[in-house]
Amino acid sequence: MLDTTQNFIIVIVAVSLSLLFMAALNRIWPWDQRHAHNDLIGWQLSILGTTYAVILGFMLYTVWTDFSAADLNVDFEANALVNVYRLAAGLPEPQHVRLKTLARAYADVVINEDWPEMSVAAVPTGSQGLDREMWETLMSVKTASPPEITAEDHALYELSALTEHRRTRLLQSASRLPNVLWCVLIIGGVVTIASASMFGAENTILHGLQVFAFSLLVSLVLVAIADIDRPFQGSVHVSDLAFRRAQVNMKN
């Protein structure tokens, strides 16, 4: 898990290493000796750059889609919790009061325990017990009037959705890009930037600016992928705002 400062440092280190590599290459293999190979290097760079750009764009789109799905799933979970709380009003005593108390406690535990635990890649367990207690409370309704039976039926549906969205949230919190894809991204970036540094240019300042811009863009995208790939950790993460809104709704 990296914060904003660490991400900034990674970008600076990546760009600095790229420029140092270009400077070292210019000393070992001067630009005027490489100039004769520019046709081959340019063709290679064009193929590598295009291929790597497609891979990079696809990975960024994939992790952003997963991040958006995690954010939406949290909203669904919080909405299901509020619906359970409201439907509890139609249940007989003592399930009526008990279910409302458990729903409020669930929101408190998710905010105060689940989110801090997920931020450090731990598996939250506090909300699981409350979810189980809500199921036991609903299933303990034995005799009820027709309106109460209807309320119980709808509450069971919403509680099923709540449980499903909670499990999905835990899976999304633990999901990561496979290591083999990270190898493709990192090795592909190194090879592409190295190819750009090999180009034989008489104007070394302009060449350095091009390598700087290229390495900066690649490192920024890689850092963005790494952050967004962890939807509940890092500097960019899914907020608990949906459950805070649910707390307000249940208090009112």
Query: For residue 75, what pLDDT is reported?
Result: 96
Query: For residue 5, what pLDDT is reported?
Result: 83
Q: Which domain, by its residues, includes 196?
A: 4-251
Kindly state the average pLDDT of the residues 121-130: 88
Q: Band of the pLDDT at 92, cuts 50, 70, 90?
A: confident
Q: Band of the pLDDT at 121, cuts 50, 70, 90?
A: confident
> What does the alpha-carbon distance between residue 217 and residue 213 come to, in Å, rounded to a whole number?
6
3-state secondary structure the chain: CCCHHHHHHHHHHHHHHHHHHHHHHHHHCCHHHHHHHHHHHHHHHHHHHHHHHHHHHHHHHHHHHHHHHHHHHHHHHHHHHHHHHHHHHHCCCCHHHHHHHHHHHHHHHHHHHHHHHHHCCCCCCHHHHHHHHHHHHHHCCCCCCHHHHHHHHHHHHHHHHHHHHHHHHHHHHHCCCCHHHHHHHHHHHHHHHHHHHHCCCCCHHHHHHHHHHHHHHHHHHHHHHHHHCCCCCCCCCCCCHHHHHHHHHHHC
Q: For residue range 159-206, what is the model confidence (pLDDT) as tens digits?
A: 999 999 999 999 999 888 899 999 999 999 999 988 888 877 777 888
Provide the mean pLDDT of the chain: 89
Task: Give me the number of domains the chain comprises.
Answer: 1
